[in-house]
A and B are shown apart, each in its own frame.
Chain A
Amino acid sequence: MDEVQEEPPFATEGWRKWSNAETARAAIRSTTAPDQDVGIYHLSSLIPPLVAAVLESIDLSIPSNPVVQRFHRLFRNLVNEKPDAYLDILSIIAYYTPKARYAAAHLLCLYWPKAVGHFVVSKSFPDVIPSESSVSTQRRGSLTWRASTHDHPYAHQFTPWHFTRSSRPIIFEGSGINDCRACLQPISGFGLLCPFCTCAVHLECYDYPDGSFFTQYLSAPDSEIQKVAVHRFCHVQPTKRDALAISIRMEQHTFRMVNIFSLSLCFICREPLWGYIMQGLKCGGCKQFVHVDCISKAEISMIPRCRSVQIDSTSMTIPYSALRQSFLRYYHNFPLTDSHLRHTTYEELSVFYAVLWTQLEVLNHGITLGSIVVEHNAEVVEGEDIMEPFELHNLVHLYEITLSVGDLPASSSLLEYMSENGLRPHQYTMAFDWNTLAYITSVIKTPAPTENPNPGISSRLLSVDQNDAQGDDFLEDSAYPFEIVSLAHLRDQLGNVLNITSDVAARYLLSHLHHVGLLQRLDSEMVLFEDDPQMAQTQCCSPIALGFDVSIDLETLVSSIETCLTDINLSVNEMGFLLLSRRIWPDGMLSDYTFHRMTKAILSWLFCEVYQYN
């Protein structure tokens, strides 16, 4: 008797696209794209010279100046109405005077900080935007929202990462991209990466201020043995500097979104905060973690006041069975069996593996650091103890084996990328390779492949009618990438180009791209996906071009990097290096011409610096 195969929740057969006519209309090309209405070029040509002219005559570091305030108002209107204004700012950096270039670099850091990154070495640009409401307060009973002050301009946003030891020879020890910034040793396996400055650290070396704390508690109510739990986390930065660090205040708690590196329990529901990034919120006062759902759905009366709850063993301990059940509830839509794996593609399984591998590492570190204690068979698993494997361990092992065998089909786009870089599918983790993520971002911005509505047209290819039709649809069919697209378009392109037909995998990958700063919502919200019927129409962009873009803006990016490196100001130099390392990292897909120009720019800067100090 044949068993009825239940369709897995991530069914790939006949996947339903998210795009419709409305989302297709929402796809907009930049004003520098070819073959558009002439009026667009007339209108947009004024913007870079205008902004440059103003920047040359004002000093942005004096926010109290009424001219500066008026300019910021003008610029905010410009950014709101023309979301791709970052390309105009980039052209100012590339083609205008040093004074305008410095001010434009300042503007780019203020309005698109996640696209640029943050400084590490040189003096950061003054963090001054005269906002219309620097502190906005709403009160609903005891619930208060308040925008707090700016984060430190050098603040990192560490993310769990998988590091692969490089096969290339090491020239200077401690200076490689995969070397720990603290101990200068190469990182292999789990580590933490700040994608906004490419700083990497071991978790053991992670000593970030406001990134870890100790909790002391009694091991049992009637015991005098004190235990110490160490929690490691990192705050998530807002997308725009003037959006400020968003926090939620309730019952005297001040919650902020965090990435948690050592699995912890929610102080309301006592269940683990599953997930690999943005698992939940942390209160700055009592340092408790909480699920977003728990504070959004619980009654106010159910939420204890800040610092009113004594932390004891129940805050840290969870039974083994509850841990398993909680895990299965959270990851129910992942492929759980061999038969499910037959329906997945290489890209999908790479995403699933990345998530679960990171989850396992976070769990193991939680047990090691004591932030979670598992009770199993009347014994306590903590510290260096080894826990009995459950579904999480088995799935990670299963995915790893399936990927290493190399039988899963990969998309032609990814295969092309891997062949240009000399990679094999089983040798690297797609979701933790920066250049692959940039390549994916670049590819999903391109137009969706159009289907031939009339299969019999091939016999009339040389007819005049056919040519006219093709001429009218040239812009629609061209591969010139879009600048502003809907979330639906991005998701469907993952399916069209990378064979990611599973909605679950697509969501994780898009959230990952959003978290590392390669994608951004136009409304600068911190969370990419929301429980909203209109979610698919959310407009997104990828601020500043990438090295893989087949567009005119790549030339602007390369020119801006060259001019940044020729500038005398060290902050502008560092901005050039940030753009270089995050946007045009050396890759097999880049042309020799790009390599020549970038190498020349870097060497010129080096020689100038050496000459200056001699």
Chain B
Amino acid sequence: MTPEQARAALRTMWRIRAFEERVGQLKRADEVHGLIHLSIGGEAVAAAVCGQLAAADVVYSGHRAHGHVLATGAPMPETMAELMGRDGGLCRGMGGSMHLVDVAHRMLGATGVVGGTVPVALGSALAARMRGDGGVAVVFFGDGAVQAGTFAESVNIAALWQLPVLLVCENNGFAEFTPRSAHTPVERVSDLVAPWGIAAATVDGNDVAAVWDATARLLAQTRAGEGPALLEALTHRLRGHYEGDPDRYRAALSSQEWQERDPVLRLERAGAQHGWFDADAMKAAQEDAHAEVAAAVAWARASPFPTPELAASLVHSP
């Protein structure tokens, strides 16, 4: 990771952090709707992976996609408007938090069905290969998705056909309300794909430079036709599974522990240490992010709600 990339990552991560904290407040105020799953703590993975995509690449994600969506370059006002169910939203208010799509920024879909986009990503990878455009399909999912049957089906086919897909598992140790150890005897997701010979790496998901470097290596390999790859990023989900989750099933991190793990603070410390950015730049990244979020909220609040006629017109393609 170069200093310039680190600076860009810091700005992306602050944008995600500011956005997500504001969304949490807006959910409590009933201005954003539905089941909201925040990426607080997942900013490094979003910034490091989505910050390295080529124009021909595509991204898929799951229910916890806000960070991925913003990191692909999707516009923040339209993303906020989508969470508020507005016509000006990315999906004209038809998708909501768990189903964000921005084709213009190659974000082809998030899903509310755990693991549901993994095989779909394979399809886009197949299309890229059949067209020969060198594109890679990236799909984000959590450690809970790995126990779904379609995960094994997809890993098998991806390996069999040597598809250009990068599987990114954000392993925060919890699937909804249950720790991983209660779901499976296999601790490391990267161990699961070993029998298929898929290139895999496990990294500290809160260390953006580590995620960046591992991603760069795996993306290059799969883009070069060396087959699928899996990146397992060990992270921590700071909030409950969804906004409103009483989260009694985990021991709360102490403030000190979080300070040590927070990917944004860690990047700031590393940046200061390596001279990637100074205190002014860090402050600007944070303040600009908050200003951008405030503007996005104002824009979204002014966007009209979609009509029943619009909904009816969207059932079928024209």
Instruction: Say if A and B assemble together.
Output: no
The interface of chain A, by Cβ under 8 A from chain B, is none
The interface of chain B, by Cβ under 8 A from chain A, is none
